[in-house]
Amino acid sequence: MTPWPVPFCYDKAFSRNIGWVTEWEQLELRRKKVAIAGMGGVGGVHLLTLVRLGVAAFHIADHDRFELANFNRQVGATLSTIGRAKVEVLAKMARDINPEVNITHFPHGIDEGNIDRFLDSVDLFIDGLDFFALDIRAKVFARCAELGIPAITAAPLGMGAAYLVFMPSRMTFEQYFRLEGLLPERQYVNFFMGLAPKGLQGAYLMDPTRMDLAGQRGPSSTTGCQLCAGVTGAEVVKILLGRGRVRAAPLYHQFDAYRAKWAAGRLLFGNRNPWQRLKLRVAYKRFAELSRESWQPPARDDGPEIERILDLARWAPSGDNTQPWRFEIEGEDKVRVRIRVGADNVYEYNGGQPTLLSAGMLLETMRVAASRFGRILWWAYRGVSGQDHLVDVELAKAPGVRPDPLLAYVHLRTVDRRPYRTTPLTLEEKEALAVALADELIIRWHEGWADRWGMARINGQATNIRLRIPEAFRVHQRILDWERRQSPDRIPAGAVGLDRLTLRVMRWAMGDWKRMDRLNRALGTLGARLQMDYLPGLACGAHFTVTRRASPRSDRDEVPSLLHAGEALQRFWLTATRLGLTMQPSLAPLCFASHGRHNVTFTSDAKARAQAAALAADLEKLLVRDPASLLFMGRLGWPRSRRVSPRSIRRPLEELLAARKESAERESARQDQSPREPPPCRRVG
């Protein structure tokens, strides 16, 4: 057994390099000194890579300390290094590889006052600075050019590496990137586009909302960081040993491991290249749009627990993203929820059934959110006050409560109106979804081609009605958001399932009912039904219908029954999200079938009323004998792409807080009402 510790021997430690370098070249690397600015994502792995190549002298600079957000990519980030200076951690890691290495620390980073000292007697500069540190980056590269020091910048873009080499007496950093005189946001775009003129990584950017150059945020990966160190190490060998061709700027290099593609070319004149300037103009606009629609944390991580619970619970689904609830916080563990059923909405039916189901989904989301803080949820329905249904909620601390397994999926649950894969659901997946509905609701699957076509046709009938009546048109005008990919109070137009050309025509027609009516009469609704109903209806894993096992015992129990059903449906939806499935509810057929079955005068169009009656008959024939028991329907499947598409987000909590009233006043008034005992919460297994 080898004794410990082993005496260090440079020649033996790096002997396996010999062959790719000669023994003399290895000794040359030992004599070289490299300056590395930044010890984060790429800088830290640059240092360790060069130490293993045998380079034995470094200047390293970084003013930052490790934190949890560094764990995805930074080689020095571990639980034991949180809060420690990055230069100290990386220097120790380097000395654990080569105890003879000579490292000079610059623990306050680089500034104009210490650039010369940082670059003093170094043979090469490697840029590991944060992407957005362009001011000091430009100054360091400018000084390298003045001092005749070769310099390399490498950026981890996606799961690849883009890099440029700047050699003495060749094109400089500023001549290539053209940053001087630009606003910071445009400097970031110039740097980004100059690093990777081919943009290989853009093809698999799955969530564009995470790209926010104006906000100085962007996604990263350890794959890219490791590749950066690899390609930079190869260039270091060529530069320090003076062998092999160094392809310096304006030659650029990008290797993307995810796409298995290599791009190398000459960007003549750098960002002044005419074609590049045209691309930059497009990129300025595109990146500005991305910044406006950038990702925001789904819930706050500070403040009172009751507000943090509500901040996550607001991600519950509601028809057309109306969010028909307001919260009154009445203490550290009590909330009154006010739910308002839309009076002027053709999509409401059965006394506000869809809104009450959504309110039940809200209660289940509150229950899941409360589990994060070791709380259970109790609620009691208090009846109607004015236009509002009232629900009192208590969020009590309880021993042994662990975070619900569905907690992480609350803000990921969304509606996907695109076609899905046709891969059938497995028996295990169906069982998990059925269990989520508990004992109160029954799910029925509609999977075969004939069943899927029948369901698609039912949805198409509903679409034909809603596109032809002015009452639905007014709702569509109100709820469609044409400006934003992420809408806090409406539905983004890009999420309705129509192609760009149809959306342009639709936007024009939505300006006026007469215009829309003429368009429908001239062209019909087949094109819209094809895109929104028939093709997606066939392209899915399965359709489903959910019915009540038993009707409420009395009218007094109808609202609590719907709230309980909504709780189960939200658990069903969150379970589908956890399984990786995507879903689109289909409530329009239920709405118009209800109107038709009860002979409701929901529109002035007699033909549409007759079509609703026919839809009710078709739905009853196709699905259930007792149509009143049918609560929910939709389609499920595996998404064809995981790329994040336009979606509805939510109003900020501040807009949903209706009032903050003194709990003592509320409690005294409530005690006079002698409320019935709230139903117990359903335990999460």
Q: How much is the average pLDDT of 473-486?
A: 94
pLDDT tens figures, 354-403 = 999 999 999 999 999 999 999 999 999 999 999 999 999 999 999 999 99
Residue 301: per-residue pLDDT? 86
Long-range CB contacts for residues 108-117, cutoff 8 Å, separation at least 24: 108/63, 109/37, 109/61, 109/62, 109/63, 109/64, 109/136, 110/37, 110/61, 110/136, 110/140, 111/136, 112/139, 115/139, 115/140, 115/143, 116/143
Specify whether the CB–CB gap between 319 and 347 falls below 8 A: yes
Query: Is the predicted pLDDT of residue 670 greater than 70, yes or no?
Result: no
Burial class (CB within 10 angstroms; exposed 0-12, middle 13-18, buried 19+) of 242: exposed
Backbone angles phi, psi at 266, to 5 degrees: -110, 115
| Residues 416, 61: Cα–Cα separation, whole Å | 47
Residue 624: per-residue pLDDT? 61
Q: How much is the average pLDDT of 188-216?
A: 94
pLDDT tens figures, 226-273 = 999 999 999 999 999 999 999 999 999 999 999 999 999 999 999 999
pLDDT tens figures, 28-85 = 999 999 999 999 999 999 999 999 999 999 999 999 999 999 999 999 999 999 999 9
Residue 300: per-residue pLDDT? 85
- What three-state secondary structure class fits 623? coil
Query: Is the predicted pLDDT of residue 664 greater than 50, yes or no?
Result: no
pTM of this prediction? 0.89
Query: Is the predicted pLDDT of residue 490 greater than 60, yes or no?
Result: yes
Query: Is the predicted pLDDT of residue 1 greater than 60, yes or no?
Result: no
Query: Is the predicted pLDDT of residue 89 greater than 90, yes or no?
Result: yes
Burial class (CB within 10 angstroms; exposed 0-12, middle 13-18, buried 19+) of 135: exposed
Kindly report which listed range (325-334, 449-458, 655-664, 665-674) carries the lowest average pLDDT score.
665-674
Burial class (CB within 10 angstroms; exposed 0-12, middle 13-18, buried 19+) of 13: middle
pLDDT band of 91, cuts 50, 70, 90: very high
Specify whether the CB–CB gap between 334 and 328 falls below 8 A: no
Nearest C-alpha neighbor of 163 from the set 72, 74, 263, 61: 263
| Residues 632, 630: Cα–Cα separation, whole Å | 6
Residue 557: per-residue pLDDT? 87
pLDDT above 90 as % of the chain: 88
> DSSP class of residue 15?
G
Collect all residues with Cβ–Cβ distance below 8 Å to 421 and sequence separation of at least 6.
539, 541, 637, 638, 639, 640
Kindly report which listed range (1-5, 97-101, 570-574, 662-666) carries the lowest average pLDDT score.
662-666
- What three-state secondary structure class fits 645? coil
C-alpha separations of 457 from 319, 378, 409, 499, 530 in Å: 22, 41, 32, 20, 10
490 — alpha (psi -120 to 50), left (phi > 0) or beta?
A: beta
Encoded amino acid at 541, one letter: G
Report the Cα 399 to chain-centroid distance in Å: 33
Instruction: Kindly provide the b/e burial profile for residues 415-450, where b requires at least 16 CB atoms within 10 angstroms of the residue's own CB.
Output: bbbbbbebeebeeebbebbeebbeebbeeebbbeee
Instruction: Write the DSSP string, 316-331.
Output: S--GGG---EEEEE-S
Instruction: Please state, rounded to an integer, the average pLDDT across all residues of the chain.
Output: 93
Residue 668: per-residue pLDDT? 44
Residue 677: per-residue pLDDT? 45
Specify whether the CB–CB gap between 652 and 488 falls below 8 A: yes
Residue 556: per-residue pLDDT? 82
Expressed in angstroms, the distance from the first to the final Cα of the chain is: 51
Q: Which residue has the higher pLDDT, 622 or 248?
A: 248
What stretch of H or E contains 290? helix 274-292
Residue 540: per-residue pLDDT? 97
| Residues 161, 345: Cα–Cα separation, whole Å | 53
